Chain A
């Protein structure tokens, strides 16, 4: 039993080492950090008459950015986690070791989550530090910023799990690559466009406010946006001014549950699929 417990960290450590070695970690930190800083400085100018802290303004711009970027990063980390090892032939050997299949998925998940965690903490954290320094120690709204960082990790985890699901279903790595791009487009870009067009065509006949909020909540990327836009004090008023997500308050619980389910369900389906797979 003790041996079974140490298996997952060993598998996770390998993913982290791979991430460090192929510069994935460095590239992600650099990307998130520089974009966070750039957006924060650009976004801090036009606050106008609305009284809000620099950090709260940053949460708005960073949420809009992370919503697109983090799913993409997470999918790129995870889409070939299983199919890549099958195709390369390394899975054959790994499965003859005293490792349960769910442990392989859990170990990779843990490793990739750690990579995302470090990237978010260092990337967004360093931007936070710089903003506080520039604002001469003004820490108003740090809670919203911290919540944004935490929810970013959750969003990342949801798309990691989706990536594993793709990886367990695809027969070839090339197919998984395509599927990852399509899933990203569908969930992150086209879903919102579709919802918006539906609203315009519908003109309020069938799509009630309640249904609209449910439709928003079931998409992990929109759940992330709702969490950050309506969850915390001043941020909601800022977003109201920009017009996105206005009209209802979701609170923070429902979006967290939605993103949580997007982690758990694809993960469990992946494990089930993987168990049935024969070599």
Chain B
């Protein structure tokens, strides 16, 4: 058995009656990485996460989490090492925040002292004694995170974690996640918020209609789809045309105006472009490069051919 992966899906299919939700997915999550699932609504992201959590069983194929089948009865004890924040989590509304977290801490065998600490961490300390039906959406989401990180799990699953959070809370949220990652936690996130997830993601899996259409780091995906890297050179006013002329032999010119030149190149020619620019010497005042962002890559996959 391969112990290098924390999570492994082998040819996993999942269908409910006749609807195929997950279709032949193979993927591995490595220890300590931040693995992001992206895809349209109903692509199967939540189902994949439920398969990883053992909440549901694959129709065919195999799921391994920490080298065990997460849907087996034996796995119950291993759940100690798991944390999960469901999409729009629901809680027992007649309990207070403190009671709820105490209950979950108890079930997880986490010391009571950690409950206060986690409430503080997500900024719910002042509301701890209030019943949950008085909590706002954002507070509920924070409470959801607090329960997910109880006991500093080795494996953290976050399903659409930042929906309903304001920008300030999102920043806190990612701070907490990156603190946990620093201590070695593996994180699996499904998200629509591509621009904010981009900085966190080590690898991204693009899911479309239950298929895995691409999986890799952001630059990997950029290369796969062949989206160009854009480079803008700033030059002194009037020099642009001359510079463009010099570069045209080597690099594709996108646009030229009075004081800047825009270049387009494939991902793997970035370095050679930089060398050509360096050869221009003092003429160049500034250079900025834009690699394709997850948004563009995502749109490419979703609009593109294939399943």
Contacts and interface: CB of A to CB of B under 8 A. Distances in A.
Contacts of B111: none
A97 interface: yes
- Chain A interface extent, by class: 20 to 34
Interface stretch (A86-94, A144-152, A254-262): A86-94
B76 A100 contact: yes
Contacts of B84: 93, 96
Given A18-B94, A278-B56, A93 B147 contact: yes
A241 interface: no
B90 interface: yes
B89 interface: yes
B102 to A, nearest CB: 10
24 contacts: A10-B107, A11-B107, A88-B90, A89-B88, A89-B90, A90-B91, A92-B55, A93-B86, A93-B91, A95-B55, A96-B79, A96-B157, A97-B79, A97-B104, A97-B107, A98-B77, A98-B80, A99-B79, A99-B107, A100-B76, A275-B73, A278-B56, A279-B55, A279-B56
B23 to A, nearest CB: 18
Contacts of B80: 3, 98
B57 A278 contact: yes
A82 B222 CA distance: 47
- Give the most central of B78, B89, B106: most A CB within 10 Å: B106
B209 interface: no
A171 to B, nearest CB: 13
Interface SS of A by simple majority: helix
A216 to B, nearest CB: 39
B103 A14 contact: yes
B86 A7 contact: no
Nearest to B85: A93
Interface of B: 50, 53, 55-57, 73, 76-80, 82, 84, 86, 88-92, 94, 103-104, 106-109, 147, 157
Given A89-B89, A89-B90, A275-B73, A3 B109 contact: yes
Interface of A: 3-4, 6-7, 10-11, 14, 18, 21-22, 88-90, 92-101, 275, 278-279
A214 B281 CA distance: 103
A7 B90 CA distance: 21
A98 B94 contact: no
Contacts of B107: 7, 10-11, 94, 97-99
Contacts of A7: 107
Contact of A96 (B55, B57, B88, B103): B55
A22 B94 contact: yes
B50 A279 contact: yes
A99 B76 contact: yes
B66 to A, nearest CB: 13
A99 B73 CA distance: 10
Contact of A97 (B57, B94, B108): B108
B76 A93 contact: no
A10 B106 contact: yes
Closest 8 CB pairs of A and B: A89-B90, A98-B79, A278-B56, A96-B84, A279-B55, A100-B76, A98-B80, A3-B109
A86 B188 CA distance: 24
Nearest to B109: A3
Contacts of B76: 98-100
A114 B88 CA distance: 33
A94 B109 CA distance: 14
Given A88-B90, A93-B90, A96-B84, 13 more contacts: A6-B106, A14-B92, A21-B94, A89-B86, A89-B90, A90-B90, A95-B55, A96-B55, A98-B109, A99-B107, A100-B76, A101-B73, A279-B55
Nearest to B84: A96
Contact of B77 (A4, A18, A89, A93): A4
A4 B104 CA distance: 14
Contacts of B73: 100-101, 275
B158 to A, nearest CB: 12
A98 B106 CA distance: 10
